Amino acid sequence: MALSAYLPLAHLLDRESSACSRDTPIFIAHGLDDALVSIDLVEKSMDTLRDLGYRIDRHIFPMRHTVCLEEIFLIKEWIGKMLK
């Protein structure tokens, strides 16, 4: 799960990843108005992950560098699915 985050070493991911890690689902949530981590960095990170075959559950919210109630409910739902 990545909340308001990006891949700072994206250029190493292909070399460091494995088939097993590519089967791990990834939840990404980010604020469209985040002034600390730009949406461009997040989009580039998601593109890198997708290009390498990772499955991404992506959520973008109209918020800054914070969390919102809708995001918390989605996280709860996603974790529930992962633990089944």
In tens, the pLDDT along 20-74 reads 889 999 999 999 999 999 999 999 999 999 999 999 999 999 999 999 999 999 9
Query: What's the pLDDT at 48?
Result: 95
pLDDT the model gives residue 19:
86
Q: What is the pLDDT of residues 30-43, one digit of tens each?
A: 999 999 999 999 99
- pLDDT for 20 equals 87
List, in order of start, the domains of the chain with CATH numbers: 2-83 (3.40.50.1820)
Contact residues for 3 (Cβ-Cβ < 8 A; gap 6+): 28, 29, 30, 67, 71
Contact 81, 30 (CB under 8 A): no
- At 59 the three-state DSSP class reads strand
Q: Residue 75 corresponds to which tokens in the numbers above?
A: 């996280």
- 12 pLDDT band (50/70/90 cuts)? very high
